Amino acid sequence: MVFWLLFSEFFKIGLFALGGGMVTVPFLFEIAEKYPWFTSHELVDMIAVAESSPGPIGINMATYAGFKAAGIFGGIIATFGLVLPSLVIIICIARLLDKYRNSDIFMNVMYAVHPAVIAMILFAGTELGKLVLTNNEAILICAIFWGAIHFVKLHPILYIVLGGIIGVALKL
């Protein structure tokens, strides 16, 4: 039963989470509320691990969440559920793009999806912020990193490493 639930929940995420890995976060919060597989606080840890691991964040989170829910096979099932819709959809879109590349209607539909994706990413950020930014130190670190990301332009892995070092130093 848990394997079917994992597959179906992550299939839905894969089907509707347009725009990249962070768009999966609102769906994962919904799963955390719906099933006893992991809590919202564990989800924040999963996101940190998924962000700092090589590979696509959505796949990393599906694998981690599936593993947490039902072991290795659960991780495989959740990952397959997440990836399957994308595989089918991208094959269809590639064929449509070749056929309708010059269609204004098709290109407008593709363009109009962007604001919806931005809204989902912003929602994910605010939900994570509610769970993580619980003290002044965390808020200050977030503000410093936000500024650095916009103005200093270091490689993203450096921000992750620096965040880990600061967290250990401050024992957050």
Give 53-65 pLDDT, tens digit per residue. Answer: 888 888 988 998 9
Q: Which residue has the higher pLDDT, 129 or 109?
A: 129
Residue with tokens 């609102």: 26
Burial label for 124, CB within 10 Å (0-12, 13-18, 19+), is: buried
Q: How many C-beta atoms lie closer than 10 Å to residue 83's C-beta?
A: 17
Q: Which residue has the higher pLDDT, 25 or 35?
A: 35
77 pLDDT exceeds 70? yes
How confident is the model over 40-62, as a mean pLDDT?
85
Tokens for 35, please give them.
Answer: 């099933």
Domain ranges of the chain: 2-130, 133-172
